[in-house]
Amino acid sequence: MNMQETEEDTIMSFPCQFPIKVMGLAEENFDLLVVNIVRQHAPDLSEGAVKSRLSGAGKYIAITVTVEAKSRQQLDNIYMDLTAHKKVIMAL
């Protein structure tokens, strides 16, 4: 393992299917916002890659986007752009 690799890098092998869960207020087009951000880094999203679920009270929505991750850096970039957006409460 070189100095820049972390233990997590050695656990994951790329490419791989990687689900990214994003939460925000249940506002119109939140899912499109999330998909547009993810697509900047993973333009080859497949059909059925996006799933959404409303919270029990309907105030929040969780969007899960499954990407074909090519590298740890790609995932880091997706998370940075998602969490930088004011409408995104959390990205896991």
Where are the chain's structural domains? 15-91
- Following DSSP, what letter does each residue of 21-32 receive, concatenated? EEEEE--TTHHH
pLDDT digits (tens, 9 = 90+) for 40-50: 999 999 889 99
CA proximity to 18, closest of 87, 74, 82: 74
Residue 32 has pLDDT above 70, yes or no: yes
Model's pTM, two decimal places? 0.85
3-state secondary structure at position 60: strand
Domain 15-91 part of CATH 3.40.50.1450: no
The two structure tokens encoding residue 43: 């333009």
pLDDT digits (tens, 9 = 90+) for 50-88: 999 999 999 999 999 999 999 999 999 999 999 999 999
